[in-house]
Each structure stands twice: as structure tokens, then as C-alpha cells.
Amino acid sequence: MTPMGNTLLAIEIVEDRTSQGTCDRGYLTLKRLLVRNRYGDGSVSEPYPCDVLHRPGSDAVVAVLYELDDQGRIQVLLREAPRVPIYLRKDSKFVHPDPREYLTILEVVAGMVEESDPPGLAGMQKRAAAEAEEEAGATVPESHFQMLGGETFASPGTGDEKLYFTVAPTELQHANGGDGDGSTMEEWGQILRMELGEALRRTRTGEIPDMKTEVALTRLADHLGYIPQLGCFARDLPEEYRTRYDPLGVESRTNKP
């Protein structure tokens, strides 16, 4: 990553090559389909159009990195980086215009599954560890990662991307910022630690406007039995409430992606 002292000022469009491209070429591809529904009684619906946005693999792994500090608070690692599609909203017209310019946003560590990753849990652990190293400069053994609940689709109305959530305790003070994946797109970025409750608050206010990050941090709190609204762990509750605490089944998925 570019050193923090080198301030990111803006992102400029050098050339708009939209008219030169086709739907089936490029990193992102777009399938323009005509589909129909088939029903149990043998009938079918009228055909209707459906566009599907796809990128190679389409599966991604989220790696939630955290530690308990010396005051017993949960610290999480977040990465700040530019996201061009979000930044360029400033030049488009929307029903609800953005009140601010999104030059960068904060996110948990995440990355695309690669063909070389093995199937199943081992592959998720391998990819999570690799992304932790690339994006955060954090060295975490693959075996330390657990699945953090079931998978989710990022935007099922338009694309087929699926997110798998993992979690690992990490010595965040040793995370020194990774070098990214080597692409120019990821050459600028920085990492920071934030208390879990504060990070969750910022997802709700829109200061951290990333959906996967809100899902990941909410699941982390559940995974650890932490109640951010009260600032305490379930184990610290009076017995009457402690016995009623339900972790919502996150642990049921720890051994399979």
C-alpha cells in the first residue's frame, strides 16, 4: 500500500471505453437473458428479460480480524481504500443525491476465491489468510479461521456474487498494512483498529456504508457473545438473562462453508 503520508486527493477518469466494449468481454461480464418460469402444473410464464452481472469465480471470502485489548474491549481491523464505482456517484443523478463524496470507504478484509484454492473449509481458510496478509499485513495461520455463519448473496437481483464469512483472533498491533494484490487499483490504502461497538455504530449511521462490513461485525458480536448496546458480554449478564441469550446459531456453520 502507498504510505499514509501520501494523501489520496481524487480519482480521475482518463478515458471512457464503454462504447468500445461488449457484454461478454472484460473482468465483469453481463448476460442479457430472456427467461421464463416453469410451474408444477406443467405451465410456464411469459418470457421476461433478466440481466446477470458476473465476474470470474464470483465467490468471495470475508476475513474478520479482531483482538481483545487490555481493557477487555473488542478491537476490529478495518481497511480504508478507494472504491471507484462509489466515488463516481458524485457525477451521476439519483433520486436521493449523496450528501457526501465517497473518496474512500472503510471495510473489513475480503477477497475473491481463486481457482488454486482447495474446495470446502480448507479453501476458505487459505483465502482468508491470504487476504489478511495482502490487505492488512497480518500473518494469521490458516487453521485459526472459523466460518462465521452461512453465506450470503451480495446483490441477488443483479449479480451472482456470494460472500463467505470467516473470523480469526489476530494480534492487530503486528498488522502493518499489506501490499494489496499488486494492482494499481489497490496501491493506495491504509488500515486502522476500531472498537467493535463504535464500528457498528458507524455502519448504522452510514459513516461505514458497506453492507458486508455491517453483517460481518454483527456476526462477530454474536460469535463472541458480545452485546454492543450494553457494552458487555452475555456471560456478564444476570443469570436470568444469561440463560435466555441465544447466539442465533452462528456456531452451527463453523466446520463447513
Dump the DSSP string for 26-37: SSSEEEEEEE--
pLDDT at 252: 42
For residue 4, pLDDT over 70 is answered with no
pLDDT at 22: 86
Per-residue pLDDT averaged across 178-195, rounded? 86
pLDDT at 253: 44
Provide the CA 227 distance to its chain's centre, in angstroms.
22
pLDDT at 250: 52
**CA–CA distances in Å: residue 175 to residues 60, 136, 170, 204, 216:** 22, 6, 9, 26, 19
pLDDT at 255: 43
Q: Which amino acid is at 60?
A: A
Which cell numbers hold the place of 111?
Answer: 477477497
Kindly state the percentage of the chain with pLDDT values over 70.
95
pLDDT at 17: 87
pLDDT at 178: 78
pLDDT at 243: 87
pLDDT band at residue 251 using 50, 70 and 90 as cut-offs: low
Kindly state the percentage of the chain with pLDDT values over 90.
73
Mean pLDDT over all residues of the chain?
90
Q: What does the pLDDT look like over 60-107, one tens digit per residue?
A: 999 999 999 999 999 999 999 999 999 999 988 899 988 889 999 999
pLDDT at 228: 93
Q: What does the pLDDT look like over 22-60, one tens digit per residue?
A: 888 888 899 999 999 999 999 999 999 999 999 887 899
pLDDT at 224: 95
pLDDT band at residue 6 using 50, 70 and 90 as cut-offs: confident
pLDDT at 34: 97
Alpha carbons 211 and 213: distance in angstroms, whole number? 5
Alpha carbons 157 and 254: distance in angstroms, whole number? 28
Per-residue pLDDT averaged across 233-253, rounded? 80
Q: Walk me through the domains of the chain, giving residue ranges and CATH numbers.
A: 57-253 (3.90.79.10)
Of 214, 221, 181, 204, give the one whose Cα is nearest residue 81. 181
pLDDT at 249: 60
Alpha carbons 6 and 204: distance in angstroms, whole number? 30
Per-residue pLDDT averaged across 182-200, rounded? 91
Instruction: Determine phi and psi for 24, rounding to 5 degrees.
Output: -100, 15
Q: Which amino acid is at 9?
A: L
CA atoms within 13 A on the CB side of 242: 8
